[in-house]
Amino acid sequence: MALFRQAWSLVTDPKSTKWTAPLQLLADAVLCGAVILKIPYTEIDWSTYMQQIELYLSGQRDYAKITGDTGPLVYPAAHVYIYRFLYYLTSNGTDIFAAQCIFAGLYLATLWIVMQCYRAANVPPYIFPLLSLSKRMHSIFVLRLFNDCWAVFFLFAAIWCWQRKLWTFGTLMYSVGLGVKMSLLLPLPAIGVVLWQGMGRDRAFYQAQSIGQVQTLIAYPFIWGGIWSYITRAFDFSRQFLYVWTVNWRFVSEATFLSKPFSYGMLILHVFLLHLLGVGRWLRPAGVSLGGAIEQLISPPSKDELRRIAARVTPDFTLTAILTSLIIGCLCARSLHYQFFVYIAWSVPFLLWRSGMSVVMIYAICFAQEWAWNVYPSTNASSAVVVGSLAVTVFSIWIGTSYYVNPPKEAQKVEAEHTKAE
């Protein structure tokens, strides 16, 4: 019986992740090595990245003139700097094996940070295997070498810092990630709410200002090459998506996919869901409505009240809010490509667990999601599962975090202890 209790604790006690997480990381390192050695590398964007870097190194700074086989440069400047460094490390981009090893290291580093974010939120060990069981994730990192891998690394590094109240370091990490790919705009609404409640209006404003300053700093060489060219390429909100590459909306007709009403409908749904979760859940530490939040932005509360609000911005709250905003953005995206799975695969398991869903349902949804993202090309069925799993995640987190509005007695007790400690 004692042995059974120990085994049960190893699976269910969040403290056990101190031992299980390193073992899982080690096993995943072996798996990454096997993938690199046994599965052929797939060329998609790496050669284009390298061609673009060669143009950059030749002195070209006009984004409109930096292009490659698969298209023009459409990512912010941090992407250029990272891949310029990789260009040197991989013999001008020709040493694919070296590149794969670097990305395997990046995968393991990101996985470790994700695990630490989960641990800070007291996630039990039985959820952690879902972080390593994705065929698509290993493919994106070590067989495709996409820049999304760097973006998601910096996103979770930022979350790790924010969970520990290292606000400025977190903002710096996020700013670099945003400088890799504009996909990191998706969690920005929740990030703003977290920073405001965790730091207060004035300090949060300086954090927002620093994000803009970092973007300006890294873009400086390209601004001289043509500021409008840089902005419209690196942060192109008017991009026309191709139906042939969509993973999430294959089950609608191409005419619908390309139509303006569909585009506006997704935008309206996105705003609605952000409002629903933002007002109904993310403002809970401040304990105010939208009107009250606006009032506090105009006239901040006392320092004592700010400290009480900040004490309620827990690691769990931070991770929940930011990942929810990210998944809402993915659900309402006009088109998701296969590399976007890096933002979903490590977010959905936590959110499903956080919603209070049973372990059987969590694994079922994650496995269904994994199946859908491995269907190539996407089909009506696979894309319906992609959208359905995201919709279920958003709906379940809305239902499961209802105590953010009316906290149960246990949560109120913990909060009272935090306030008393202040």
- Whether the upstream peptide bond of residue 377 has omega within 30° of 0, thus cis, is yes
Q: What is the pLDDT of residue 238?
A: 72
Treating both helix axes as pointing N-terminal to C-terminal, what angle do 315-331 and 148-163 enclose, rounded to 10 degrees?
A: 150
Q: CA-CA-CA-CA torsion for 207, 209, 211, 214, nearest 10 degrees?
A: -120
> Which among 124, 191, 198 is positioned nearest to 350, based on CA atoms?
124
| CB-based contact 11:126 (threshold 8 Å) | yes
Q: What is the pLDDT of residue 1?
A: 61
Q: What is the pLDDT of residue 27?
A: 98
Q: Which two tokens stand for residue 130?
A: 């879902």
Q: How far is CA 81 from CA 49, 84, 226, 235, 236, in A?
A: 11, 5, 18, 17, 20
> Which among 161, 56, 38, 159 is positioned nearest to 100, based on CA atoms?
38
- Whether the predicted pLDDT of 43 surpasses 90: yes
Read off the pLDDT of each residue in 151-173 and give the average, rounded to a whole number.
Answer: 98
Sign of CA dihedral 356, 284, 169, 181: positive
Q: What is the pLDDT of residue 224?
A: 86
Q: How far is CA 416 from CA 62, 74, 293, 316, 394, in A?
A: 56, 49, 22, 17, 29
Cβ neighbors of 329 (< 8 A, separation 6 or more) are 185, 186, 187, 270
- Over residues 99-115, the pLDDT tens digits come to 999 999 999 999 999 99
Q: CA-CA-CA-CA torsion for 284, 285, 291, 297, nearest 10 degrees?
A: -150
Q: What is the pLDDT of residue 262?
A: 95
| CB-based contact 159:170 (threshold 8 Å) | yes
In the block, tokens 């491995």 appear at 374
* Mean pLDDT rounded to a whole number for the chain: 92
- Whether the predicted pLDDT of 421 surpasses 50: no
Task: For residue 71, list its beta bridge partners.
Answer: 68
Return d(Cα 64, Cα 55) in angstroms, integer: 12
Q: Is 91 exposed, middle or buried (0-12, 13-18, 19+ CB in 10 A)?
A: exposed
Phi, psi values for residue 71, rounded to 5°: 140, 180
Q: What is the pLDDT of residue 4?
A: 67
| CB-based contact 344:390 (threshold 8 Å) | yes
- Whether the predicted pLDDT of 408 surpasses 90: no
Return d(Cα 248, Cα 160) in angstroms, integer: 29
Q: How confident is the model at residue 70 (pLDDT cuts 50, 70, 90)?
A: confident
State the pairing for strand pair 67-68/71-72. Answer: antiparallel
Q: What is the pLDDT of residue 136?
A: 97
Q: What is the pLDDT of residue 226?
A: 87
Q: Which two tokens stand for residue 151?
A: 């973006």
The percent of residues above 90 in pLDDT, for the chain, comes to 84
- Over residues 251-283, the pLDDT tens digits come to 999 999 999 999 999 999 999 999 999 999 999
Q: Three-state SS for 282?
A: helix
Return d(Cα 61, Cα 224) in angstroms, integer: 8
Cβ neighbors of 42 (< 8 A, separation 6 or more) are 139, 143, 144
- Which stretches of 259-358 are DSSP H helices? 260-277, 290-298, 303-311, 315-331, 341-345, 348-354
Q: How confident is the model at residue 410 (pLDDT cuts 50, 70, 90)?
A: very low
Return d(Cα 118, Cα 150) in angstroms, integer: 19
Return d(Cα 321, Cα 394) in angstroms, integer: 11
Sign of CA dihedral 265, 269, 272, 274: negative
> Which among 19, 37, 40, 41 is positioned nearest to 29, based on CA atoms?
37
Q: Which two tokens stand for residue 191?
A: 């990030």
- Over residues 291-350, the pLDDT tens digits come to 999 999 999 999 999 999 999 999 999 999 999 999 999 999 999 999 999 999 999 999
